């Protein structure tokens, strides 16, 4: 198994958050492929699209995904702030870390 540092993003119209977790997989996913992560609270309904794979000189492999459910590049995942927070807390319960905390979503244009 290969240890990979994954970065995922969640956003509401009001806020966004970057989450990071080291995950073991049998192969490194390629750009354009999809990954699903375990989530006992909200399930693994969503798949995350890989948009960047970085191989560091130190040996660390980093995989970044697109913003979850960014339909038509609207720049948010959830209509309701409560749903955003539910998903955020559910991923924290699964061992994801929020290195920078929740930030204001300045990308969403009303």
C-alpha to C-alpha distance for 71 and 52, rounded to whole angstroms: 19
Tokens linked to 54: 């970085």
C-alpha to C-alpha distance for 45 and 58, rounded to whole angstroms: 34
Strand partners, 61: 55
DSSP state of 72: G
Q: What is the pLDDT of residues 46-94, one digit of tens each?
A: 899 999 999 999 999 999 998 876 655 667 788 899 999 999 999 999 9
What does pTM read for this prediction? 0.90
Give how far Cα 51 sits from Cα of 2, 7, 36, 41, Å: 19, 10, 14, 26
């Amino acid at each position: 198994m290969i240890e990979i540092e994954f970065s995922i993003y969640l956003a509401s119209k009001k806020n966004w958050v970057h989450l990071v977790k080291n995950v073991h997989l049998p192969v490194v996913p390629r750009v354009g492929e999809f990954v699903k992560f375990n989530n006992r609270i909200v399930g693994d309904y969503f798949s995350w699209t890989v948009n960047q794979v970085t191989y560091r000189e130190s040996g660390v492999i980093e995989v970044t995904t697109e913003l979850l459910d960014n339909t038509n590049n609207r720049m948010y995942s959830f209509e309701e702030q409560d749903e955003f927070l539910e998903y955020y807390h559910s991923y924290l319960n699964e061992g994801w870390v929020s290195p920078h905390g929740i930030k204001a979503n300045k990308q969403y244009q009303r």
